[in-house]
Structure 1
Amino acid sequence: MGSERVDGRTLRFQHRRPELLAAATEYVLDHGIAGLSLRPVAQALGVTHATLLRHFSSKDELITCVLDKIRTDLFAQVTADSGLQEAGSTAQLLRTTWRRLCEPKEQRQFLLLFEMAAGAGRRSGDGGEPTRSMEDDFVGFISGWLRRDGWAPEDASALATLLLAQIRGLQLDLLVSGDRARVDRAFEFALALVEPRTGPSVS
């Protein structure tokens, strides 16, 4: 009978984990990870510290799960966006994506990404697995569009890396300066890399 009680409790916790993870993700996006503690998170989510620990055994596990959710949700959102699916070129795709990413709610993800990359880089010279995974996802996504436009595979990967670096850098500039008009204009200069003739001819 004891094992039945444990099984039932475990099932109930499993059903609640996605809800807790979604709420914890919003909390982390709003507050960042500097000085993050499980007790304030639990309080904000309306659960006990013990309940949170049943789902996430430590602060590090919670952060890892949150970052993975942000990465997968963002990539799923981008790849499923009807406006992006209907883009006629890489430049059009990136222009539409840029407008989405400049919305205040989406900018929270960049703030957290910068915080994670800076913290991990200071400790080990490594941006960490979540930031590497996000980098790989989006380089592959942009590279696929560039190949569709006619770029050779090796050039498409390098150019996708450059374009993604431009997006990250300009997002940081926008977060610091708030000068949307200037940053938008700078982004249009970056798009000139792919807009003319939609890529070089491939012999």
Structure 2
Amino acid sequence: MGRREDLLDQVTDHVFEHGLIGLTLRPVAAAIGTSDRMLIYHFNSRDELVAAVVTRAEDRAIAAVDALPGTDGVRQGVNALWAALQTDPLHRATDIYVQAAATGLIGQERFAAIVCEANDRWVRALEDYLVRCGAPPERVARVVRLVDSSLYGFHLDLSTDRPDELAMGVDDLAAAAQAIAAGWDPAALGRPEAPTSVS
């Protein structure tokens, strides 16, 4: 492992422990036993270091999903994924992604390609996992779109809502994911008509 990769792992470990928001070079360098000049040498700027940390956190999250065994059905798989998201490294990696979004880093054009590539790999990992859980390959992309965004929302709610209430909501999501995997099309419900004015 090269010096840059070693530093990146150390900074990522630090961020997992202390968070991403407010990260500055000098304190993080001191915390991992190096200098801010060494971080600048390897990463050019604080923003590029943060982008690299977000990508490394995503790498760890993807490895964790890749290690999840398949389950007996999509519903069980989504519930198992939610349980995994509440443990490390998935829990902290998700926190890092949310914090990066909150700081506006993810939307910056210089880093959009890096984050988009990491997101594409994350989606592929979720697709592979849900196929292991029985989702048909031709429907799995639609299932992942629903599950991925929804679980991020549930993750944010962990700070305010009771875990048992969230678990019921996740199971409702899991049941919907199972139905979509089985061929149910939510569009078949139709769209509500626009309200008519009453004179």
Confirm or deny that 1:185 pairs with 2:195.
no
1:118 corresponding residue in structure 2: 102
Which range moves more in the overlay, 187-196 or 35-44? 187-196
User: What does residue range 30-69 of structure 1 map to in structure 2 within 5 Å?
Assistant: 30-69=17-56
2:75 corresponding residue in structure 1: 91
Give a deviation string over 1:43-77, Cα, whole Å, max 9, x none. 00111222222322211221121111111121122
Q: Matches of 1:89 and 1:32 in 2, distance apart?
A: 35
Confirm or deny that 1:167 pairs with 2:154.
no
Q: Matches of 1:156 and 1:122 in 2, distance apart?
A: 25
1:23, CA displacement in angstroms?
Answer: 1.1
Equivalent position amino acid for 1:169 in 2: G
So what's the TM-score if we normalise by structure 2?
0.75
So what's the TM-score if we normalise by structure 1?
0.74
Is 1:117–1:131's contact at 8 Å kept on the other side of the alignment?
no
1:25, CA displacement in angstroms?
Answer: 0.5
* Distance change >3 Å, CA 178–CA 128, structure 1 → 2: farther
Give a deviation string over 1:90-120, Cα, whole Å, max 9, x none. 3333222211111265322222212222332
Unpaired runs of 5+ residues, structure 1, are 1-13
1:178, CA displacement in angstroms?
Answer: 4.8
* Distance change >3 Å, CA 33–CA 189, structure 1 → 2: same
Tell me, what secondary structure is at the counterpart of 1:195?
Answer: helix
2:57 corresponding residue in structure 1: 70
Q: Matches of 2:22 and 2:180 in 1, distance apart?
A: 49
Which structure's relative contact order is higher, taking Cα pairs within 8 Å and 6+ residues apart?
A: 2
* Distance change >3 Å, CA 48–CA 134, structure 1 → 2: closer
Q: Matches of 1:198 and 1:156 in 2, distance apart?
A: 7
Unpaired runs of 5+ residues, structure 2, are 185-199
Relative to its length, the structure with more helix (as a share) is 1
Number of aligned positions between the proteins: 183
Give a deviation string over 1:158-182, Cα, whole Å, max 9, x none. 22101111111101111x2151111
Tell me, what secondary structure is at the counterpart of 1:47?
Answer: coil
Superposed CA RMSD in Å reads 3.1
Is 1:64–1:130's contact at 8 Å kept on the other side of the alignment?
yes
